Amino acid sequence: MVNRINDSIENDFMWQIYQRGLINELILQPFMSLSLEIDKRKTFGIISHPDAGKTTLTEKLLLFGGAIQTAGAVKNNKIKKTATSDFMEIEKQRGISVATSVMSFHYRDKIVNILDTPGHKDFAEDTYRTLTAVDSVILVVDAAKGVEAQTRKLMQVCRMRNTPVIIFVNKLDRESRDAFDLLDELENELSISTRPLSWPINSGRLFKGVYLLYNDSLNLFEGDKTKKAVEYKKIENLSDPRLDDMVGKEDADNLREEVELIQGVYEPFDEQLYKEGLLAPVFFGSALNNFGVQEMLDTFIDIAPGPQARETNLREVAPEEEKLSGFIFKIHANLDPNHRDRIAFLRVCSGTFERNKFYHHPRLQKKLRFANPYTFLASSKDIIEKAYPGDVVGLYDTGNFKIGDGLTEGEELQFVGIPSFSPELFREVINLDPMKSKQLEKGIDQLTDEGVAQLFRQQPGNRKIIGTVGELQFEVIQYRLKHEYNASARFDSLAYHKACWMTGEEAEIKEFIKYKPQDVVRDKDGNLVFLAQTAFILDMAKQNNPNIEFHETSEFKTFSEE
């Protein structure tokens, strides 16, 4: 008992006073249990440019974790068998992920929570918010294409938060770029140091496998999309003559030269630098063929950080704290279209979440309890009794939550860093079936709650304007309105440049509205928003109204006109 306590809360204040004989084991037990549960959990996101193989890699991680028995294949945007993490009908048709999927599985002695994010640039905002709910990231890179536009944008978010990153260079079974050139590009383009922990032996039709630099073993390539076992060929070192027999003398000699160069150019892997977000270990493989995935998964389990502290408006929240706290980072309507359910995704940050226990909603100043909290395997849901820091819990929601809301045991905490961003494209919602007005209203409200688009209302007339950061979002909303709410609408383009939230002196804001009534709307929370038609008009508004602030994200203290 004492050894288990010591292992789980070493250096903890409670352990120190236990050593002094001031408390007994029974009192210490709850603290030990929470600490042990925290230590079990790894929560990470998978990010990439579209079509780099991110969703395929997610499936194979689930396969190795035993969460699924067979894996589908996502290839050239055509679904041979629907991807486990792509459960929306439009995702199945388009072959892309447009919603963040949350999945959990057990591997070794850990509970692994995966957040598979949209790769498409039009849904980047959903991905940015999802990255606030993870403790580390796996970045998937196409071996032939290298660093792409969305890769850079997503890594910028990771670098801002110093999120630890593991890089998986995918599709080595196809013709690929030189591995050294890829590493140089990763470092130069993503502003992060790299350290290969596996190394490819050729690529494409000549691909023979990878050499594991950290334990001197070979994983020889076999094109098998469903196998879960990995057979490693252990060698003494690169001088071992058996290497020549395994891969051929020419490739063996080339591997020896490349590994010698790696050892001379790259510093030894430093786990602390990885956890500080400064160094990214790199693995090579083929997710489609289950190759190179288990090495990365095993290393991830060994080195990835557990649940980390989170910033709030009042203080930093540590996962070891006894009282529950967490935040909503995603909302999804109609996860099960047959039941028209609405699920809010809660990242547990501290304490223990318990089923049927009342918790405090700081924004609404009300108590809520949840009879059926869920964990997820894509669209499959399992009711849970308890959840711990690092876990993502699905909460059945009747409209109480919006993205960024907190949940506590009484403290007025607001978790920071989960904003909505200024839209770049604007459309007016035109109802095509007046008999379905209620369905359209409900659909627009619920779908914009999910955070992939923003709803503005212009008075008089209750004119509805949707703002997004990408064209595909309008297509998704239109499709879901039709198939989930039986409502038909078209979206007419509006010539606006940017939406900016307005705060400042009340009198000056009222004067501004007086001269630009057609360009000032309200968001869903009643906050005033200026729709600027051009960048020049926005600049002039800022210059002519120095006592008004025009915010490009929603993370601010709002002024609301009475």
| CATH number of the domain residue 402 falls in | 3.40.50.300
Residue 374 sits in the same domain as residue 504: no
* 420 belongs to a structural domain: no
Task: Judge whether residue 416 has pLDDT over 80.
Answer: yes
Q: How far apart are CA 126 and CA 120, in angstroms?
A: 10
* 227 belongs to a structural domain: yes
Check residue 419 and give its pLDDT: 66
Which has the higher per-residue pLDDT, 67 or 240?
240
Among 203-212, 246-255, 326-335, 518-527, the range scoring the smallest mean pLDDT is: 326-335
Q: Are 186 and 139 in contact (CB under 8 A)?
A: no
Residue 58: pLDDT band (50, 70, 90) is confident
Question: E-assigned strands of 285-410?
Answer: 310-311, 316-317, 325-333, 342-350, 353-354, 359-361, 366-368, 374-377, 380-383, 386-387, 392-396, 406-408
Q: Are 126 and 330 in contact (CB under 8 A)?
A: yes
Residue 216 sits in the same domain as residue 343: no
Which tokens sit at 26? 């029974």
Residue 60 sits in the same domain as residue 183: yes
Which has the higher per-residue pLDDT, 221 or 387?
387
* Count of structural domains, the chain: 4
Task: Judge whether residue 78 has pLDDT over 50.
Answer: no
Check residue 124 and give its pLDDT: 60
Task: Judge whether residue 333 has pLDDT over 90.
Answer: no
Which tokens sit at 180? 């050294």
Residue 479 sits in the same domain as residue 528: yes
Nearest to 219 by CA among 296, 287, 269, 291: 291
Residue 223 sits in the same domain as residue 273: yes
Check residue 223 and give its pLDDT: 61
Residue 444 sits in the same domain as residue 501: yes
Residue 141 sits in the same domain as residue 163: yes
Residue 264 sits in the same domain as residue 353: no
3-state secondary structure of 130: helix
Nearest to 83 by CA among 63, 66, 65, 64: 63
Residue 399 sits in the same domain as residue 353: yes
Check residue 168 and give its pLDDT: 97
Residue 385's φ and ψ, nearest 5 degrees, are -90, -35
Residue 382 sits in the same domain as residue 472: no
Last residue of a domain, one of 303, 336, 363: 303
Check residue 20 and give its pLDDT: 53
Straight-line distance from the first to the last Cα atom of the chain, in angstroms, rounded to the nearest whole number: 61
* 558 belongs to a structural domain: no
Torsion of CA 256, 262, 263, 269, to 10 degrees: -130
DSSP letter, residue 277: T
Last residue of a domain, one of 303, 325, 352: 303
Task: Judge whether residue 484 has pLDDT over 60.
Answer: yes
Q: How far apart are CA 345 and CA 380, in angstroms?
A: 14
Q: How far apart are CA 247 and CA 295, in angstroms?
A: 20
Task: Judge whether residue 69 has pLDDT over 60.
Answer: no
pTM (two decimals): 0.76
Check residue 63 and give its pLDDT: 83
* 414 belongs to a structural domain: no
Which tokens sit at 415? 């978790």
**Longest alpha-carbon distance in the chain:** 84
Q: How many CB atoms lie within 10 A of CB 529?
A: 24
Check residue 491 and give its pLDDT: 93
3-state secondary structure of 332: strand
Check residue 123 and give its pLDDT: 56
Check residue 76 and give its pLDDT: 35
Among 100-104, 158-162, 288-292, the range scoring the smallest mean pLDDT is: 100-104
Which has the higher per-residue pLDDT, 291 or 221?
291
Which has the higher per-residue pLDDT, 305 or 417?
305
Check residue 10 and give its pLDDT: 42
Last residue of a domain, one of 303, 319, 338: 303
* 389 belongs to a structural domain: yes
Our measurement of the distance from residue 176's CA atom to the centroid of its chain's CA atoms, rounded to an integer in Å, reads: 27
CATH code (residue 477): 3.30.70.3280
Residue 403: pLDDT band (50, 70, 90) is confident
Check residue 337 and give its pLDDT: 56
The tens digit of pLDDT for each residue in 88-123 reads 454 444 443 434 477 888 898 899 999 877 655 555
Average pLDDT, the chain: 82
DSSP 140-203: EEETTTBS-HHHHHHHHHHHHHT--EEEEEE-TTS----HHHHHHHHHHHHT-EEEESEEEE--
Burial of 181 from C-beta contacts in 10 A (0-12 / 13-18 / 19+): exposed
Task: Judge whether residue 340 has pLDDT over 60.
Answer: no
Residue 233 sits in the same domain as residue 331: no
Q: Are 512 and 545 in contact (CB under 8 A)?
A: yes
Check residue 298 and give its pLDDT: 93
Q: How far apart are CA 96 and CA 122, in angstroms?
A: 12
Check residue 455 and give its pLDDT: 93
* 262 belongs to a structural domain: yes
Q: How far apart are CA 233 and CA 221, in angstroms?
A: 11
* 418 belongs to a structural domain: no
Q: How far apart are CA 296 and CA 168, in angstroms?
A: 8
Q: What is the mean pLDDT of residues 471-493?
A: 87
* 202 belongs to a structural domain: yes
Residue 500: domain span: 425-551
Residue 376 sits in the same domain as residue 525: no
